[in-house]
Amino acid sequence: MSNMSRTAGRHFLQIPGPTNVPDRILRAIDRPTIDHRGPDFGALGRRLFAGLKPVFKCSGPVIVYPASGTGAWEAALVNTLSPGDRVLMSETGHFATLWRGLAEKLGLKPDFLPGDWRHGADAEAIAARLGEDKAHEIRAVCVVHNETSTGCTSDIAAVRKAIDEAGHPALLMVDTISSLASIDYRHDEWGVDVTVAGSQKGLMLPPGLSFNAVSEKALDAHRTAGLPRAYWDWTAMLKANETGYFPHTPATNLLYGLAEAIDMLQEEGLDRVFARHDRHAEATRRAVGAWGLEVLCLDPDRYSSSLTAVLMPEGESADRFRRIVLDAFDMSLGSGLGKLADRVFRIGHLGDFNDLSLAGTLAGVEMGLALAGVPHEKGGTQAAMDYLAEEARAAVKETA
């Protein structure tokens, strides 16, 4: 990186992942790499495999891959399905579309329930499609819990109910890459068979780790699944994991960071982590409303607490606006993805983030709107601050 012009202070990485990595995690990673077959590693591995379960709210195994989230998508499919299997997927946005594309490349046959990229997955449509499938050819239902391209969540409990009411045996697979450790998620309670997650969003780590949390039913499907698998094979992983080890060289230093992240989540308490994300999302929406701009998600029950996608006024370029914010204020905002390119910008408010980081983020957006000449009302940041102050006052009262 060039040092020709130094930028003072921390960069504001307000894309919805990777998120700002806290100093504690950076320090944890900055330690010597150890022998991954030695005794110290086994202790670390055992601690991690146990410590991940409360984060996923699962009792079965959590498999850890040195891979981005896309790898864990592939792992979920190749470990449980066979060539030509039908899978039911919901078009919630760009990430759901990418997962479908991956399924097709693997030789699966996705049914893609259409969506408008402004709502979560439609549980009724899923129920209807499963109801038509009397021969039970659909082997899995795949849903993105938090669609990072739109800022809409999907109601996973409702999807579970739809599958149960249809009396359908399909597996339920859920992508929680941008919701785990930010938005309440319950692998066991919601009867999820494979939960897919990644390190670089709510878990506050750098990119490079991804996860499959696996149910008994998924393990049963694994035994007879016919898609070719080698690197992603759960059997080899689970066997080595029993004693805290991996069948290949793990991402040792990222695992140091993961242990630290689990400690941090435990110290804060998951419920408080979720409440913090809810508060920052609400404050952000109040700012967007006061600016006179539109939140992309149209269903208030399904607003994302980890990011907010904001529609640009007609004729305004979101990418030009983001570039102005980056140049002037050293802040990265998320771009519009797929068919939303240049139409929306996304404010990430997940991970290691507090009220003042949000106030700074929103101030940067508001100043950027003025600099870019985007039509808007002033006062969004103030509206968010008023709300945050109210919430802080209520919290002080509670503890008094």
Ligand X SMILES: *Cc1c(COP(=O)(O)O)cnc(C)c1O
Q: For binding to ligand X (CB under 6 A), which residues are involved?
A: 17, 68-70, 95, 144, 148, 175, 177-178, 198, 207
Nearer to ligand X, 144 or 365 (CB): 144
Using DSSP's 3-state secondary structure scheme, residue 355 falls into helix
Nearer to ligand X, 193 or 316 (CB): 193
The tokens for 18 are: 């990777």
Nearer to ligand X, 211 or 274 (CB): 211
- Shortest separation between residue 385's beta carbon and ligand X, angstroms: 28
Indicate the residue whose CB is closest to ligand X: 69
d(CA 273, CA 392): 15
Cα torsion for 395, 390, 309, 204, to the nearest 10°?
A: -30
Cα torsion angle, 197, 198, 200, 203, sign? positive
> What is the bridge-based pairing of β-strands 344-348 and 307-311?
antiparallel
d(CA 240, CA 249): 12
279 labeled part of a ligand binding site: no
The tokens for 239 are: 């066997």
Burial 17-45 (b: 16+ CB within 10 A, else e): bbbbbbeebeebbeeeeeebeeeebeebb
- Shortest separation between residue 44's beta carbon and ligand X, angstroms: 23
- Shortest separation between residue 389's beta carbon and ligand X, angstroms: 31
Tokens 């990186």: give the residue.
1
Nearer to ligand X, 191 or 207 (CB): 207
Nearer to ligand X, 95 or 291 (CB): 95
Nearer to ligand X, 70 or 335 (CB): 70
- Shortest separation between residue 226's beta carbon and ligand X, angstroms: 25
- Shortest separation between residue 278's beta carbon and ligand X, angstroms: 18
d(CA 66, CA 257): 13
Partners of 348 in the β-ladder: 307
d(CA 379, CA 387): 12
DSSP state of 95: H
- Shortest separation between residue 144's beta carbon and ligand X, angstroms: 5
Strand arrangement of the beta sheet that strand 307-311 belongs to: 294-295, 307-311, 344-348
**For residue 228, is the peptide bond before it cis, meaning its omega torsion is within 30 degrees of 0?**
no
d(CA 40, CA 54): 23
Nearer to ligand X, 29 or 144 (CB): 144
- Shortest separation between residue 138's beta carbon and ligand X, angstroms: 21
d(CA 349, CA 202): 10
* Residue ranges of the binding site for substrate: 346
